[in-house]
Structure formats: C-alpha cells, structure tokens
Chains A and B, each alone.
Chain A
C-alpha cells in the first residue's frame, strides 16, 4: 500500500525559506521509473505543479519558480524534501506530494497548508 505524508511548518514569514518533507512508504525511490512530485493549491484555486524528482536523481522544476526551488531525496529514509526560498504571501497554499506515474499522479499525500504572513 502506497502512502505519502507531508510535514513542515504551517506558518512562515515573508522572505523566509520553506522546507517541506514528504515521507512515503509502499515503494522505493531507487526503483526504475519511480518519481515523487510536489503540487500546490492556493485556497480556492487550481492545482500548480512545482517540482519532481526521479529514481535516477533527475530533477525537474516549474520554470516560473525554478530559481526558488530545490528538490532532493533520501532513499534510505524514504523521504523527499522541497525547499522554497524567499516566501511571499502569494505562496500561501496547500502543498501536496504525490507518487508519479508515466501519466498522472496516482497517490497523493493529505496535503499541508502553509500560510505566509508576518
């Protein structure tokens, strides 16, 4: 059974760096073809893809946020970490991590709401 869970701060101040951890089970990020992505959703708005990391450490980023994002994995801990620098109130959103298949994300975490406010 595949499960994912996001963890991290619920409140960050403007200009701070956000660090989110996705802890997963039921699959290995060292298995060929496997990926884990991050997607966010501002309150009442649509989904926005942020980043994705593959089993071979290939990393992909949203072009509009690339300069602010870093995604890493710790295969031994079954974790993927996303950092986003220079947080702004417009970054207030629910952040999801998800297991990636060739077409689509088939397993999602429950999401974590991050509020950016001073």
Chain B
C-alpha cells in the first residue's frame, strides 16, 4: 500500500492567515491526489482533485499543488468556516489511502 503522511498533524492559525499543509506519498503517484475537509460530525468534503483542480463550489482561497511524492494544500486567507480537519488521499493505485489528517485550529 502507498503510505500518505501529512504534516503538521495540527496547526493553530488566525483568521486571515495563510496556511499550508503538506502531504507526502511513500512512492510516486503522479497527480493522483485529492484533498478533503471534514468538520466534526460531518462527512468529508472534496476540495481539490488531481492535485490542483478545484472542486466545483469550493472557494478560490483553497489551492493545491505538487506531483510525484510531495503535495501541498494552501488556504490563502483563513476564514472562520475553514477550521476543520484536512485529509489527503492518493488515487494512483488500489487501495486508495488517506493521510492521518491535519487539524486546523483557531489560535
């Protein structure tokens, strides 16, 4: 299985801050990567697919980049509704695997 490692595991930030979360794959996955946002008690929501494509309806302050083994999710200016847990997921090969999550908390 391809292992997905996110960093940091948690981060504290303020409204208006720029935040970057990284995801590293244990082997190359080209651009077969998705990012999700999950709020407590809710299902995950797809934000980014194919490493850098914004899912319909997702605000443009979210962006993704990377290819191969190293990927980033950037939130350009944090809004109150962005405080949540974020997961990456590789879709290069079965089984699809998720990172352990990054919890974004209010400073």
Chain A residues packing against B (C-beta within 8 Å): 37, 46-49, 52, 60-63, 96, 98, 101-106, 108-111
CB-based nearest A residue for B87: A47
Q: Does B8 contact A (CB under 8 A)?
A: no
CA distance A22 to B50 in the complex (A): 26
Considering the complex of A and B, which 6 residue pairs feature the smallest CB-CB distances, nearest first?
A104-B34, A108-B43, A47-B98, A103-B49, A104-B49, A103-B91
Chain B residues packing against A (C-beta within 8 Å): 1, 31-34, 36, 42-46, 49-50, 55, 87, 89, 91, 94-101
Q: How far is the CB of A2 from chain B (nearest CB, A)?
A: 12
List residues of chain A with CB within 8 A of the CB of B98. 46-49
Q: How far is the CB of A64 from chain B (nearest CB, A)?
A: 8
Q: How far is the CB of A104 from chain B (nearest CB, A)?
A: 3
Q: Cβ of A62 and Cβ of B34 under 8 Å apart?
A: no
CB-based nearest A residue for B56: A106
Which of B46, B95, B97 touches A105 (beta carbons < 8 Å)? Answer: B46
CB-based nearest A residue for B53: A103
Q: How far is the CB of A34 from chain B (nearest CB, A)?
A: 15
The 19 sampled A-B contact pairs (Cβ below 8 Å) are A37-B96, A47-B87, A47-B89, A48-B98, A60-B94, A60-B95, A63-B1, A96-B43, A96-B44, A101-B49, A103-B31, A103-B33, A103-B34, A104-B46, A105-B89, A108-B45, A110-B42, A110-B43, A111-B43
Q: How far is the CB of B88 from chain A (nearest CB, A)?
A: 10
Q: Cβ of A103 and Cβ of B50 under 8 Å apart?
A: yes
CA distance A111 to B46 in the complex (A): 15
Which of A47, A48, A61 touches B44 (beta carbons < 8 Å)? Answer: A47
CA distance A109 to B42 in the complex (A): 9
Q: Cβ of B95 and Cβ of A49 under 8 Å apart?
A: yes
List residues of chain A with CB within 8 A of the CB of B94. 60
List residues of chain B with CB within 8 A of the CB of A96. 43-44
